[in-house]
A = this chain, B = another copy of it.
């Protein structure tokens, strides 16, 4: 180990206590030497993604969070409701590291040629526990950034880019030809709006606010529907008729939006059948399979399905990891190369705030990234000392 690598460093941890309290704190953990096939990354940037929030907050009521500890070692505690506690039995008493992805400089490497090749390089990694100052990661989980790219540019090069590529791959694997996306003005949604035109894939964007509509249209989006507007269903049916989209990815989860999308898809299928003369009444609705995948839970409330779209429909959970397993290592490697090539263009992310590790554990920052609002995206810089 080089002299500049400390023996111990900070790591953000999330603990569910048996007394139904969540505790977030910075732990001092040993910096281990990398294994033969590992590299030790000095983590310089790691995003607070919506997909990190479940592990970080454990369903606690963050509106009731309290701060204690020191400025350098803040501690956040928050009560966990009974309903959330039931799903957490497996993690009670074990402080868990957090942070799906991040990027930084390889400061030590194991003996394998693949590990040695990364020494001194800036890499992105989806290793988990990335809200750490130092993190050993298997080389298979690392992506060497293109020359000149910074850790901040590469910090979010896994979750969002692979998710949008996964959506497009899923669309093709399941024989759809166009996509619907909700919460479409998010970082991920904007990425999808760059990717889809490149691949000639029609995309219907659903947002909830007029300024989000404008953001997407200004970026060139063709189909943007505002679910809060009075003409929403008519606009959505028109967009679905124009695009033929029968697959949606929904980041919201709760409420009636998924069901409205299926209803509009069925109406669009009927409109297409009528215009082509292929119509005719079927008591079971159209034979076109209509699918909504829920990949997020911005609304944690119940999903309400008003089943008025025949029998050829499905709704279900969609998660990146099982998709990657289904796609296979070779295909994933191709997709990673695509991401590297488009890191500062198609797959670029932007942030509204950068915080240090202690800064991430302030009530103000938690109120900012915890609400997972579009246009409120935080980046942790673990090497910075607040």
Contacts and interface: CB of A to CB of B under 8 A. Distances in A.
Interface stretch (A132-140, A171-179, A304-312): A304-312
Interface string A309-328: 01111111111011000000
- Give the residue among A55, A270, A305 with the most B Cβ atoms within 10 A: A305
Interface in A208-249: none
Given A281-B88, A281-B90, A307-B253, A287 B322 contact: yes
Interface size class, chain A? 35 or more
A304 B316 CA distance: 13
A87 interface: yes
A285 interface: yes
B316 A307 contact: no
B317 A314 contact: yes
Contacts of A54: 283-284
Task: Please tell me how many copies of the chain the complex holds.
Answer: 2
Contact of A314 (B254, B302, B307, B315): B315
A311 B302 contact: no
A17 interface: no
A80 interface: no
B304 A311 contact: no
B317 A310 contact: yes
17 contacts: A54-B284, A83-B308, A254-B307, A284-B321, A297-B307, A300-B307, A302-B306, A302-B307, A304-B305, A305-B305, A311-B319, A311-B322, A313-B317, A314-B314, A314-B316, A314-B317, A316-B316
Given A303-B304, A305-B305, 14 more contacts: A54-B283, A86-B308, A87-B308, A91-B281, A253-B307, A259-B302, A302-B305, A302-B307, A303-B305, A311-B322, A314-B315, A314-B316, A315-B316, A316-B316
Q: Sorted from nearest, which 10 A-B pairs have the closest CB atoms? A: A90-B281, A314-B316, A311-B317, A91-B281, A303-B305, A311-B319, A55-B283, A54-B283, A302-B304, A302-B306
